[in-house]
Amino acid sequence: MDIENIRKIAKVLNSRDNFLITAHVNPEGDSIGSQLALYHILKRIGKNVMIVNQDPVPNNLKFLPGADIISRNIPEGIEDTIVIMLDCPVRERTGKVNRALNEDQFVVNIDHHVSNEFFGDLNWVNKDASSAGEMIYHLSCEMKIGIDKPLAMNIYAAIVTDTGMFNYDNTSSETHMIAGELLKAGVPAGSMYNNLYEQRSPEEIIMLGKVLSTLTLVPGEDIAYMVLTKDMCGEERGASIPTDGFINFARSVKGVEVAVFFREGEEDIKKINVSFRSSEKVNVNQIASRFGGGGHAKAAGCVLLTGLEQAKREILEAVRKAMNEADR
């Protein structure tokens, strides 16, 4: 039950003093927003709290209140620190942060991924929540922490980005109700949009153009895929250009049921990052899980170490099979 888990977590937050908050590698709006929201809650009740992430805060999230305190260094002497992992289906998703923890570290797992493995000492997993940020909103209500503007902005960023600006099916009436409360608390919707989405570099738009030109429709036209090879990235800056939203263009093609995006690794060309988006019928979390990845029913990812051509063969065959099963 949600409420029991919220209460258990609230009790730990109220009774203990030292906290380390972390989330998954390659952070995006929900991981940064939910971490910062929880940070503000703990600060408001006078706790020692730090946020440690393997990877840096993306440029479009640096405006969020508190973002400058996010560190990439794990301090010594954290034996008595409660570690809270947000937005992670498995603890390995926190990367080098997980590897630096002690064997018996107390871990609180707060997440909304269907694939969550309940890896914590305390687990609160709500697959119906739009975002980890939405869960932190409920936590703040349970803890009777009034929603001030910094808290509201971070939760809003988490919700807006994880729901694709309230467009995905994880958007519930409750999500909108919470967003309404956040606006009441002073969230500036227009400038949030500008900060979150209109910070693209010219290189990103040029890269998008190159990726779009690889769009391929598989015969039958209900699978679309795109690729980004190392060659297309050019000499420098390739790895730092965010490509998260590119796949949505492939899914937006009329009749496309599943879109797949293959990206060659910067350092290891055999390493292929695969992202999936599904429109309705196919659960891409199940496909990604078969390849050691995971995510949500309509958005998931995995990594193959096979090189591009074999990855394309294996993945597209798995998608086709899943599609046939869904049609039955």
Decide whether 132 or 224 has the Cβ nearer to Mn ion: 132
**Pseudo-torsion of CA 251, 276, 113, 133, nearest 10°?**
-50
Supply the Cα-derived Rg of the chain in whole angstroms.
20
Region near Mn ion per CB under 5 A, out of 25-33, 166-174, 209-217, 296-304: 25-33
Specify burial of residue 190 (Cβ count, 10 A radius: 0-12, 13-18, 19+). exposed
Selected from 42, 87, 175, 319, the binder of Mn ion by CB under 5 A is: 87
Tell me, what DSSP letter sits at residue 265? -
Q: Sheet with 107-111: list strands edge to edge.
A: 48-51, 18-23, 82-86, 107-111, 122-125
Which residue minimizes CB distance to Mn ion? Answer: 30
Host H or E run for residue 28: none
Q: Least distance to Mn ion from the beta carbon of 31, Å?
A: 7
Helix axes 149-162, 29-44, angle to 10 degrees: 160
Q: Least distance to Mn ion from the beta carbon of 112, Å?
A: 6
Q: Least distance to Mn ion from the beta carbon of 300, Å?
A: 12
Q: Least distance to Mn ion from the beta carbon of 248, Å?
A: 16
Decide whether 87 or 222 has the Cβ nearer to Mn ion: 87
Q: Least distance to Mn ion from the beta carbon of 154, Å?
A: 13
Selected from 134, 162, 222, 264, the binder of Mn ion by CB under 5 A is: 162
Distance CA 26, CA 23 (A): 9
Decide whether 30 or 264 has the Cβ nearer to Mn ion: 30
CB of 295 closer than 8 Å to CB of 282: no
Region near Mn ion per CB under 5 A, out of 28-36, 59-67, 97-105, 277-285: 28-36
Q: Least distance to Mn ion from the beta carbon of 129, Å?
A: 9
The three-state secondary structure class of 261 is: strand
Distance CA 244, CA 263 (A): 11
Decide whether 24 or 40 has the Cβ nearer to Mn ion: 24
CA-wise closest residue to 24 among 47, 68, 54, 59 = 54
- Fill in the per-residue mask, 117 to 136: x = in contact with Mn ion (CB under 5 A), - = not in contact: --------------x-----
Residue at 30: amino acid letter: D
Q: Least distance to Mn ion from the beta carbon of 28, Å?
A: 8
Tell me, what DSSP letter sits at residue 71? B
Selected from 30, 134, 222, 264, the binder of Mn ion by CB under 5 A is: 30
Decide whether 192 or 318 has the Cβ nearer to Mn ion: 192
CB of 222 closer than 8 Å to CB of 257: yes
CB of 83 closer than 8 Å to CB of 20: yes
Region near Mn ion per CB under 5 A, out of 154-162, 175-183, 210-218, 304-312: 154-162
By CB under 5 A, what part of segment 305-324 binds Mn ion? none
Decide whether 106 or 168 has the Cβ nearer to Mn ion: 168
Q: Least distance to Mn ion from the beta carbon of 35, Å?
A: 11
Residue 111 contacts Mn ion per CB under 5 A: no
By CB under 5 A, what part of segment 233-272 binds Mn ion? none
Decide whether 242 or 265 has the Cβ nearer to Mn ion: 242
* Residues in CB range of 137: below 8 A, 6 or more apart: 37, 147, 155, 178, 181, 182
Q: Least distance to Mn ion from the beta carbon of 164, Å?
A: 12
Binding residues for Mn ion, rule: CB under 5 A, are 30, 87, 131, 162
